[in-house]
Amino acid sequence: MSFRSLLGITLFIACAVAATVILLSILYLRGQISALLPYDLALEVDASLMNLFMMQAIALFVLALGLSVAIFFVVGSFVSKPLRELTRAMDGYATSGARTTIDGIDEAPKEIRSLAVSFDGLIDRVEESHKHDTDISRVKSDFISTAAHQFRTPLTGIRWALEALQKENLTESQKALVESAVGKSKDLVAIVGTLLDISAIESGKYKYTFAPTDMNALVTEIVASFEPLAQKTQISLFYTHEASEALPAAKADRERIKWVLNNLIENAILYTPAGGTVRVSSEAGGGRVYVRVKDTGIGIPGEDRANIFERFYRAQNAITVKNQGNGLGLYIARTIATDHGGDLNFAANTEGPGTTFTLSLPLA
């Protein structure tokens, strides 16, 4: 029930009570009169009294109705309307983050004006804090990108020098050594490239190269590359899938999706105690291709679940584990998934310990 209806009805009830009291006093007075006055005089007085009081009661009733309606409109325009406008402004900010002016707030009662001022202060504070976060994030992105560029020049020198050295007359063992150094310098170049890509993805500047991708082949390749790590940490790693023909091509930037799956599978292995299982599976349905990574690991504590896709967030039980993550992985992974028009979600396993992450991608 709205505020103004409540006020109007309250007033109406008050007047109705007053009218009832008047009627009751008439009845009481009639009793007194007939007891005190001679019969014929009493009849006359009674009739005029009755008349007078009935008129009063009716007048009061009409007045009550009029006042209620008037209050309904007056309160409506002075209290309810500014309150509704304020609510609209608050809802607008909550859903879209857009600040709007509140119509007629200057004519509103003082209490509502100060509510509006408080709301304004609250928004200022929210925006200040958001700006602070954005600034920090930008500084961090700039730092990553500058540092990565700085790495590239010496890396180029190392790589080119080693490649030049490869062409010299080397013994077999020297060749093998230079070969390793060349391989590792290329790895380093790739890492720097990934860092730059991540910083571009994070700031929304990355340009994806989408192509129809056979997810079965991609996942098979990635899972195979984790076999040594799985063996070392005594985790059983499986990939279960439908036949390739049954899995339609997904729309994917191959390198970026590979990065996402690498992260998911690596996390699953590292957060699963020895003897556990990591099961990767793929399936299609509802115009999407799904890749699931299910582990029997330590799980994600309930209070952390809402936050694990936030930047730099690391679940409480993740910090002590051997994995020295920076808390960016899942945030970037989800950003990549949503940039594809897909999504990345997770759920605690229902039938046992551990977590299942699900990457969904649109069909090509």
Partner 1 sequence: MPETRFILVVEDDPILKNLLGHTFAGKYQTLYASDGNEALALFEANKPALVLLDLMLPTMDGFAVLETIKKRTDALKDVPVIVVSNLGQDKDKERALALGATEYLVKAEVSVEEIVGRIEKVLGTITPNV
Are the C-beta atoms of 164 and 181 separated by less than 8 Å?
Answer: no
Q: Are 210 and 340 in contact (CB under 8 A)?
A: yes
Residues forming the site for partner 1 (CB under 8 A)? 145, 149, 152-153, 155-157, 159-161, 163-164, 189, 192-193, 196, 200, 205-207
Q: What is the C-alpha separation between 251 and 342, in angstroms, rounded?
A: 9
Minimum Å distance from CB 213 to partner 1?
Answer: 21
Quick one: which of 282, 290, 292, 280 has its CA closest to 223? 280
What is the DSSP-derived secondary structure letter of residue 352?
A: S
CB of 158 to partner 1, least distance (A): 9
What tokens were used for 94? 């909550």
CB of 114 to partner 1, least distance (A): 48
Residue 361's H or E segment, with its range, is strand 355-362
- Residue nearer to partner 1 on the CB measure, 41 or 164: 164
Give DSSP secondary structure letters for 256-309: HHHHHHHHHHHHHHHTS-TT-EEEEEEEEETTEEEEEEEE-SS---GGGTTTTT
The CB-of-152 to partner 1 minimum distance in angstroms stands at 4
Pick 28 or 143: Cβ nearer partner 1: 143
Name which of 300, 226, 329, 237 is nearest 274 in CA terms: 237
Per-residue tokens: 223: 């899972």
If the CB atoms of residues 204 and 228 are measured against partner 1, the closer one turns out to be 204
Angle at which helices 172-202 and 329-339 cross, to 10° = 70
Instruction: Name the amino acid, one letter, at 163.
Output: E
Query: Closer to partner 1 at the Cβ: 166 or 277?
Result: 166
CB of 162 or CB of 344, closer to partner 1: 162
The answer to whether residues 346 and 356 touch, using CB atoms and an 8 Å cutoff, is yes
Nearest to 297 by CA among 275, 325, 319, 330: 275
> To the nearest whole angstrom, how small is the minimum distance from the Cβ of residue 356 to partner 1?
34
For the CB of residue 102, give the shortest distance to partner 1 in the complex, in Å. 41
